[in-house]
């Protein structure tokens, strides 16, 4: 039976496609070479590595793969709309650092066992960058810990889930949260700010949200706080809620602020799954950055953050 290979379609554009150069780049991002015992969850950004690779690496370097048999990778959909969790049909996910084997048996079990899950075509899989951007990072750190050939992955694109589907998927996934041989990578950027993203809300000095373009267009931009400071404040409110483990509070935060966190559904799903599993550990954010410091309403930026548990 032939294997379906998910090619590294974003290599050479979003990240380096040369094995030696990519390895050198990822090594340069590492601050602490020793993983933390028992760490098996990470929230990681998915922009090009020149933008978010350093932030993502601060999370990945903490993961302990010594007892891990499989890694679930959750990512949002940027190109298609779905109300389900779409599971990869690939047998192998290719990276410049080595192939990642997919746990095909578990992928098939997910689709067969719960209506929240469905299969994802290879074309859709290869078009989506949110999952792929985690693969070379994962391969690098698995290699570093001598685990690349021992660990399989379960790539899942998380759609715009209804509350009912979210709960059903979370209950089903909770069994894998409890199993300490499983690790989870949650792919998400944080605030996408600017008119090109359709999001220009600004948290002013009285903690009120207002439209920066409408209010400050003639003046170029507010100064106290500056727009990039407001973005950081908005993001950190959400990050603090994620650290408290309340998926309902996170959902309410998103409704209130409309913050453009593209991985909101993957984050909500892992939080809800942890709640269903009565998982005691909490996410702790360890790195945050922005693609640029926005001061004018004509500018734009994307935020990147990483957390581990």
Question: 162 — alpha (psi -120 to 50), left (phi > 0) or beta?
Answer: beta
pLDDT digits (tens, 9 = 90+) for 245-281: 999 999 999 999 999 999 999 999 999 999 999 999 9
Q: Give the model's pLDDT for residue 32.
A: 83
Q: Match domain 5-187 to its CATH number in 3.90.25.10, 3.30.56.10, 3.40.830.10, 3.40.1190.20.
A: 3.40.830.10
The overall average pLDDT reported for the chain is: 97
Token pair of 55 as six digits: 């932030």
| Start-to-end CA span in the chain (Å) | 38
All structural domains of the chain with their residue ranges: 5-187
- 188 falls in which pLDDT band (50, 70, 90)? very high
> Would strands 182-187 and 70-76 be described as parallel, antiparallel, or unpaired?
parallel
Q: Is the confidence at residue 217, as pLDDT, over 90?
A: no
Whether the pTM exceeds 0.95: the reply is yes
């Amino acid at each position: 039976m032939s294997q379906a290979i998910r090619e590294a379609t974003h290599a050479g554009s979003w990240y380096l496609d040369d094995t030696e150069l990519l390895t050198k780049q990822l090594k340069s991002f590492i601050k602490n070479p020793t993983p933390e015992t028992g760490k098996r969850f990470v929230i990681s950004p998915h922009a090009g590595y020149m933008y978010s690779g350093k932030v993502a690496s601060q999370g990945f370097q903490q993961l302990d793969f010594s007892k891990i048999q499989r890694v679930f990778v959750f990512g949002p959909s940027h190109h298609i709309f779905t109300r389900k969790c779409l599971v990869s049909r690939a047998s192998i996910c290719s990276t410049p650092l080595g192939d990642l084997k997919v746990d095909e048996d578990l992928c098939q079990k997910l689709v067969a066992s719960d209506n929240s899950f469905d299969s994802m075509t290879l074309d859709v899989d290869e078009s989506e960058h949110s999952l792929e951007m985690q693969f070379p990072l994962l391969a690098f750190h698995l290699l570093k810990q001598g685990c690349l050939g021992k660990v399989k992955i379960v790539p899942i694109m998380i759609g715009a889930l209804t509350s009912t589907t979210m709960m059903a998927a979370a209950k089903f996934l909770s069994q894998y949260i409890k199993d300490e041989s499983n690790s989870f990578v949650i792919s998400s950027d944080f605030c996408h700010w600017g008119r090109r993203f359709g999001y220009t809300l600004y948290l002013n000095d009285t903690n009120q949200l207002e439209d920066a373009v409408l209010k400050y267009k003639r003046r170029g931009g507010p100064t106290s706080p500056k727009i990039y400071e407001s973005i950081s404040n908005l993001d950190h409110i959400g990050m603090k809620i994620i650290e408290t483990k309340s998926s309902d509070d996170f959902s309410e935060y998103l409704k209130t602020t409309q913050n453009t966190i593209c991985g909101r559904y993957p984050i909500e799903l892992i939080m809800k799954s942890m709640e269903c599993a009565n998982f005691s550990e909490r996410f702790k954010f360890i790195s945050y950055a922005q693609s640029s410091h926005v001061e004018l309403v004509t500018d734009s930026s994307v935020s990147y953050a990483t957390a581990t548990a």
